Amino acid sequence: MIKDVVLIEPRAPGKHVFSKFKLPRLGLPILGALLQRELGISSRVYFQEVSKLDWDKILGADLVGISTITSTAPEAFKLLERIKRESDIPVVMGGPHVTFLPEEALREGVDFVVRGEGEQTFLELIKHLSNGNGDYSDIDGLSYSEGGVFHHNDDRSRMDDLSSLPWPDLSLIEDFEKVRVVPMITSRGCPHNCKFCSVTPMFGHRYRYRDSEDVLAELEMLYKKNPKAVFFFYDDNFTASTSRAKELLQKMKERGITPRWTAQATVHVVQDEELMQLMKDTGCLFLYLGLESANPETLKSYRKAQTVEDIVRAVEVIHKYKIKVHGMFVLGSDEDDRAAIRETVRFAKRTGIDTVQFLILTPLPGTEFYTEMCQQGRIIVDDWSKFSGHHVVFNPKLISPFRLQKEGTVRAMGKFYSIWQCWKLGLLFRWKDMAIRIYAHRTIAKWKARNREFTAELKSRYKEEKTRLKSYYKEEKAPIKRHYKGEKARLKGKGEKS
């Protein structure tokens, strides 16, 4: 009988500029609330970035669930190993990484893998385990091993009615008071088809929205509890439907629910200035934009439905409404050489973007890019913890892995968050912005120190490859060079007639 469940979100590997802003994903708080509502089962959630794991409680639970993305998979497997070493508790894993690589988790010793949107699958599994039903073949979305054979049940259809789910119970997260940003989500899915993104394979092309009244009720409850908190809308594109976004924001304004908030959007958000005004009126602080690159060819290869001109205009219009822009760039496409990467950094500086993330293009399981890199044999790193967007894990086309690492993280971030940039903001009396840049500058230095070994390994490979190519071309050119000299001598009547 399952009465007590522990749910764990493993910590992310290493530190980077935005490690300070710790934000739990909402899958586990939703599962915890669902178990309580449907089955009366109590649970606790450990968000390992802030929660100290209580191993007595973990090992005393009836079941442990672990949610993992690719970069946290090694930590998830470490937790699994200890649980299995010290107990016989069933362990369930879910999340994007194991959704696309379920057999890896099963080989590591996990009992069940919940693929895709896991609420109903997890609920049905708990019912089976509580009833002693050992036949799991009728649970859609479940993978498991039986007699050494892997079983992958049919995929489960994605949920249409997101409002049927309970609100995420953030109070289940141990030490949640240490989290400074309150997360919310109002939709799932994305109609776009960026080749490096796992959102569409995980949640589908179709946007599915929660009922606006349901969203407003949750937001009002959280706002009353945390009037000074900053809220983050986890939606992959909060403004995908401008009419729906305007309806929601208008009702927030009318009811006085105006917390400080941030959200992800695209550059096309500025096409509706009524929407922009509502954002300003309801307390929007930052918009996080997937800008990706200043190289038009890279934007095309990523299948981004935007131009460099769109980016420039978006930043101008958003700033007009006193909202800040966080630009997210992805460097290392097959169209990116060193010059293109440096131009993207210069572009970010001169366009006036407030804060940036220069991430390395990363082949995440489940994406088209991952499949492409596997087929071409271009993945060079097998440590999942390096698949975080901060390390080069594949062979780029126009630049070496070492050069991409140096240009794409160390130099790019260092240029944007340089000491001079910090002082410039100080001279303009923009103290908060200056403090953010100083923090970022220091964190970059720490990241370089912590990743010195990884960078040195890439550099060593680069030197070996350079030496090999130099030797190869020397050997290839030698016969041509001899032939050329012979021809030259023959034509002058001085040498051989070959």
pLDDT (tens digit, 9 = 90+) per residue, 162-198? Answer: 999 999 999 999 999 888 899 999 999 888 888 898 8
- The alpha carbons of the chain give a radius of gyration, in whole angstroms, of 26
> What does the DSSP 8-state code read for residue 8?
E
Q: Report residue 285 as tokens.
A: 């602080």
The whole-number average pLDDT for the span 243-251 is 96
Q: Report residue 340 as tokens.
A: 């293109």
- Cβ neighbours of 323 (radius 10 Å): 19
234 compared with 493, residue with greater pLDDT: 234
Pick the CATH number of 4-152 from 3.40.50.1980, 1.10.1520.10, 1.10.10.60, 3.40.50.280: 3.40.50.280
425 to each of 18, 350, 355, 433, how far by Cα in Å? Answer: 20, 14, 12, 7
pLDDT tens-digit map of 262-272: 999 999 999 99
pLDDT tens-digit map of 56-87: 999 999 999 999 999 999 999 999 999 999 99
pLDDT tens-digit map of 254-303: 999 999 999 999 999 999 999 999 999 999 999 999 999 999 999 999 99
Q: Report residue 146 as tokens.
A: 């039986």
| Superfamily grouping for domain 180-416 | Aldolase class I (3.20.20.70)
Band of residue 441 on the pLDDT scale cut at 50, 70, 90: low
> What does the DSSP 8-state code read for residue 190?
-
**In this model, does residue 443 exceed pLDDT 80?**
no
Tell me the three state secondary structure of residue 15: coil
Q: What b-and-e string marks burial along 119-146, b requiring 16 or more CB atoms within 10 Å of the CB? A: bbbbbbbbebbeeeeeebeebebbbbbe
Looking up tokens 């010195």, which residue turns up?
452
> What does the DSSP 8-state code read for residue 173?
B
pLDDT tens-digit map of 331-379: 999 999 999 999 999 999 999 999 888 999 999 999 999 999 999 999 9
Band of residue 496 on the pLDDT scale cut at 50, 70, 90: very low
The pLDDT, as a whole number, for residue 498 is 41
The pLDDT, as a whole number, for residue 473 is 53
Distance, CA of 67 to CA of 76 (rounded, Å): 8
pLDDT tens-digit map of 393-410: 999 999 999 999 989 888
- Cβ neighbours of 242 (radius 10 Å): 14
128 to each of 31, 135, 166, 468, how far by Cα in Å? Answer: 16, 8, 21, 59
**In this model, does residue 494 exceed pLDDT 60?**
no
305 compared with 488, residue with greater pLDDT: 305
Please say whether the beta carbons of 59 and 87 come within 8 A. yes
